[in-house]
Amino acid sequence: MSRRRNNVRGPMSALTEFLRESGINPDTIARRVATQNQAENLSPSVAGPSNSGDNVEGALEQEQQEEDVPQASNGRRTRGRASRAIDYASDELDDPEEESPAKKRKSTKGRATAVAKAKAKKKAKEDGDYEGSSEDEYTAVSKNLWSMGGNGGPKPPVGSFENCAKCEKQFTVTKYTMAANPPPGYLCHPCSKASGNDPFKKPAVPRKRKPVADKRDIVSYEERRFPTLAAMCIELITRYIDDVEALGDIGSMNMDEIAKALSKNRGLTPENAHLFYDVLNKKLRFYDATNLTPDALATLASLNPNLTHLHLDYCGRLTSPVLSGFATSMPQLTSITLLGPFLVRAEAWIEFFKAMPCLRVFKITQSPRINLKCVQALAESCTKLEELSLREIGLMDDTFADPLCSLSPLRVLDLAFPGIGIDEDGWIRLMETHGGTLETLDASKHEGFTDHVLLDGVRKYARVLLELKLQECLDLTDEGVAQFFTDWASPISTLKHDDDDDDDDMDVDSAPDDVSAVSLGEFTPNPPLHVLSLARNQELSSAALTAAIIHSAQSLTWLNVNGLRGASSEALAELKRATELRYLDVGWCRELDDFVMKDVVTACTKLSEIKVWGCSRVRGVGWGVKSTGMLTSLNKLTQWHKTFTIMMSLSIQGVALAIGLLAFFAIVRWMSPHKRHMPPGPTPIPFLGNVFDINADALWVSYTKMRETYGNIVYTSALGMDIVVLNSEEVANELLEGRSQIYSDRPYISTRDLFGWEWATPFLRYGERFKTHRRLFHQVFRPEAILSYRPKQLQKAFEMLPRLLHDPTGYAGHFESSVLICLLPKPQVLLLDRFSASVIMSVVYDYDIASHDDVIVSAAKGAMDLFLRVATPQKTALFAAFPFLMKLPCWVPGLGLKDAILSKKYVKDMLDMPYDYVIRNRAS
The residues binding another protein (CB under 8 A) are: 213-214, 226-230, 232-237, 239-240, 243-244, 247-251, 253-254
Nearer to another protein, 250 or 805 (CB): 250
Shortest Å distance, C-beta 248 to another protein: 6
585's enclosing H/E stretch is strand 583-585
Which amino acid would we find at residue 357? Answer: P
Q: Is 660 helix (H, G, I), strand (E, B) or coil?
A: helix
Burial (0-12, 13-18, 19+ Cβ within 10 Å), 82: exposed
Shortest Å distance, C-beta 678 to another protein: 55
Closest alpha carbon to 793 in 3, 7, 13: 13
Shortest Å distance, C-beta 76 to another protein: 47
CB 499 within 8 A of CB 563: no
Nearer to another protein, 238 or 483 (CB): 238
Nearer to another protein, 8 or 213 (CB): 213
Nearer to another protein, 252 or 733 (CB): 252
Nearer to another protein, 105 or 224 (CB): 224
Query: Which CA distances in Å does 158 have to 57, 154, 170, 178, 758?
Result: 16, 11, 14, 12, 37
Nearer to another protein, 3 or 626 (CB): 626
Closest alpha carbon to 318 in 271, 278, 365: 365
Dihedral sign for Cα 707, 709, 715, 717, please. negative
CB 858 within 8 A of CB 220: yes
Which amino acid would we find at residue 670? Answer: W
Nearer to another protein, 207 or 216 (CB): 216
Which amino acid would we find at residue 181? Answer: N
Distance CA 459, CA 526 (A): 8
Residue 445 gets the label, from left (phi > 0), alpha (psi -120 to 50) or beta, of left
- Within its chain, how far is the Cα of 778 from the centroid? 26
Shortest Å distance, C-beta 273 to another protein: 17
Shortest Å distance, C-beta 208 to another protein: 17
Shortest Å distance, C-beta 912 to another protein: 16
Nearer to another protein, 278 or 398 (CB): 278
Nearer to another protein, 240 or 884 (CB): 240
Query: Which CA distances in Å does 570 have to 37, 543, 607, 616?
Result: 61, 10, 20, 17
Nearer to another protein, 233 or 474 (CB): 233
Shortest Å distance, C-beta 223 to another protein: 10
Nearer to another protein, 765 or 920 (CB): 920
Distance CA 541, CA 530 (A): 20
CB 69 within 8 A of CB 23: yes
Shortest Å distance, C-beta 628 to another protein: 11
Shortest Å distance, C-beta 309 to another protein: 22
Shortest Å distance, C-beta 227 to another protein: 5
163's enclosing H/E stretch is strand 161-163
Runs of H (alpha helix) within 604-639: none
Nearer to another protein, 232 or 698 (CB): 232
Nearer to another protein, 200 or 226 (CB): 226
Distance CA 94, CA 106 (A): 14
Collect all residues with Cβ–Cβ distance below 8 Å to 17 and sequence separation of at least 6.
780
Closest alpha carbon to 575 in 536, 538, 602: 602
Distance CA 472, CA 449 (A): 10
Tally of CA atoms within 13 A in the half-sphere of 84 that contains its CB: 25
Shortest Å distance, C-beta 222 to another protein: 11
Integer-rounded Cα radius of gyration of the chain: 33
Shortest Å distance, C-beta 226 to another protein: 6
Query: Which CA distances in Å does 96 have to 54, 91, 158, 619?
Result: 15, 9, 34, 65
CB 776 within 8 A of CB 21: no
Shortest Å distance, C-beta 255 to another protein: 10
Nearer to another protein, 892 or 923 (CB): 923
Other beta carbons within 10 angstroms of residue 299's beta carbon come to 19
Runs of H (alpha helix) within 87-211: 101-106, 112-126, 137-147, 189-194
Residues 606, 550, 439: CA angle, nearest 5 degrees: 75
Nearer to another protein, 273 or 441 (CB): 273
Distance CA 460, CA 431 (A): 9
Distance CA 253, CA 118 (A): 52
SS3 content of the chain, % helix, strand, coil (to 5): 50, 10, 45
Nearer to another protein, 45 or 628 (CB): 628
Shortest Å distance, C-beta 213 to another protein: 5
Which amino acid would we find at residue 564? Answer: L
User: Pairing between strand 558-560 and 583-585?
Assistant: parallel
Shortest Å distance, C-beta 235 to another protein: 6
- Residue 70, preceding peptide bond in cis (omega within 30° of 0): no
Q: Is 821 helix (H, G, I), strand (E, B) or coil?
A: helix
Shortest Å distance, C-beta 245 to another protein: 10
Nearer to another protein, 8 or 253 (CB): 253
Nearer to another protein, 234 or 374 (CB): 234
Closest alpha carbon to 371 in 814, 805, 907, 781: 805
Q: What is the dihedral of CA 8, 13, 19, 20, to 10 degrees?
A: 10
Shortest Å distance, C-beta 901 to another protein: 18
Shortest Å distance, C-beta 252 to another protein: 11
